[in-house]
Structure 1
């Protein structure tokens, strides 16, 4: 029997896709907000906008197309390519929160991460179903029932969350995973 590599599950939004930067630009363009870099880097955008503007973003997210236009997180392509030498890498996104996001997310992944096999892309809801050794995610709620080791990828909305395994960027992620 063939030896299998350990499995690495990787979230999409705010881990390999820069949703926050796109959303911030949308709020500025649509509603005229002006924030400092520190405001954006240390706060959830939801805390910085009026409730009705947050609701407008939710409606945009439910339409789904926005998920296909995010920029790639710096270093994520090279890091995942390198990590594939040691791990079976799966992209695991909680797409069921926004079902219309599935097609745009898949197209985005094929464009920016063509080296990830299509069969290694998992659209799910509850990530506890994942059978992986590691999960890199920006939301600690996905680690609650996950059987492997969760690694929190820093994002503006989680900077005050205390979690023992955290990385600030892809360079740190590769170092933590021993590559």
Structure 2
């Protein structure tokens, strides 16, 4: 069975929306998503030190929104591939329990054996990697699927995917249409 490696932040979890929400809560300023395009979030916001501090705040990794269609598509991929959720989470050790709880809530079909937290993804092997960072994809030996996020919008490298619908069309027999009813059900929740 082919192996699919899936990143969490900016791929499954909408960390950009989380930054915007936290910034609004702490500064009273709403930052437009479009103003972040092509910039790392920690440099794109007016108060970059505050934004960096969010990564250490309890709850930051526990409460981000789920990226559209990721639940249904990953559940379908999980039936066809050997799926692993891989996060370079050790830089922020407090995030470990929060990320596990977030996965358990939003992706209950992913078992604990399918979750890998590491410091570097250079050790990860598989057939496909879905990630938003070159630092992870550049070292991967399989097919690299570069998931669009605000910080990487201007980078032209690897196979770009803009949505989970595109991933479904690439990797699932029957594509996105094969899971249409699941997507409609998850959107209604």
TM over 0.5: yes
Cα contact 1:62–1:98 (8 A) shared by 2: yes
Q: Using the TM superposition, name which of 119-128 and 41-50 deviates more.
A: 41-50
2:19 is the counterpart of 1:23: yes
2:155 is the counterpart of 1:161: yes
2:8 is the counterpart of 1:12: yes
Cα contact 1:64–1:98 (8 A) shared by 2: no
Among candidates 82, 92, 110, match of residue 86 of structure 2: 92
Gaps of at least 5 residues in structure 1 are: none
Which residue in 1 is equivalent to 2:120? 126
Q: Using the TM superposition, name which of 68-77 and 143-152 deviates more.
A: 143-152
Cα contact 1:63–1:101 (8 A) shared by 2: no
TM-score (ref. length: structure 1): 0.89
Gaps of at least 5 residues in structure 2 are: 174-189
Cα contact 2:4–2:129 (8 A) shared by 1: yes
Which residue in 1 is equivalent to 2:53? 59
Which residue in 2 is equivalent to 1:72? 66
- Residues 149 and 139 of structure 1: is their aligned pair in 2 closer, same or farther, counting only changes over 3 Å? same
CA distance in 1, matches of 2:64, 2:158: 29
2:99 is the counterpart of 1:105: yes
Could you give the per-residue CA deviations for residues 44-63 of structure 1, whole angstroms, max 9, x where no partner exists?
A: 4334323xx32222223124
Q: After the TM superposition, list the runs of 4 or more consecutive aligned residues in structure 1 that deviate by more than 4 angstroms.
A: 40-43
Cα contact 2:144–2:158 (8 A) shared by 1: no
CA distance in 2, matches of 1:13, 1:37: 16
TM-score (ref. length: structure 2): 0.84
RMSD: 1.7
- Residues 165 and 48 of structure 1: is their aligned pair in 2 closer, same or farther, counting only changes over 3 Å? same
